[in-house]
Structure 1
Amino acid sequence: MPRAPIVVYPPSDEGRRVRADGEAIGRARDERELREFLRRAGLPDWETADLTDPALVEWRGGGPEVWE
């Protein structure tokens, strides 16, 4: 199975680190900020993308409901 193109790391005081295709693209503090990173990474359906889809997002240290 191919790796997910987006990796979201465990929460920290500064938010969750986000990588797209192996490149660090910032820290998200909530779903809105994560979706902005998806937009910047060129994901065509970033507004409606299923963030629980493991083919799209690999969550480390908690899923999309965990931000702190």
Structure 2
Amino acid sequence: MGKGALERFCRLRPEAEHFLERVYRTRGMSARTCHKVLRVARTIADLEGSKAVSKTHLAEAVGYRALEEKIWEA
């Protein structure tokens, strides 16, 4: 999913947008990592039948990303 598709299909609720910005800054995420997190969050939202990505969806996606980083560091 490219940048245009992300903007079109990964509509964020306002609280989700603020959460993502905060996580992006505090974790030092790259734009590429941020896009990966957005794609996973969109998938989670789809599985729940939600049209918009919520803060909960993003938090779950960030959690999976943290778990992935922990596994590959070991």
Q: State the TM-score, normalized to the length of structure 2.
A: 0.27
Instruction: Name the structure with the higher helix share.
Output: 2
Instruction: Name the structure with the higher strand share.
Output: 1
Larger Cα Rg: Structure 1 or Structure 2?
A: 2
Q: State the TM-score, normalized to the length of structure 1.
A: 0.28
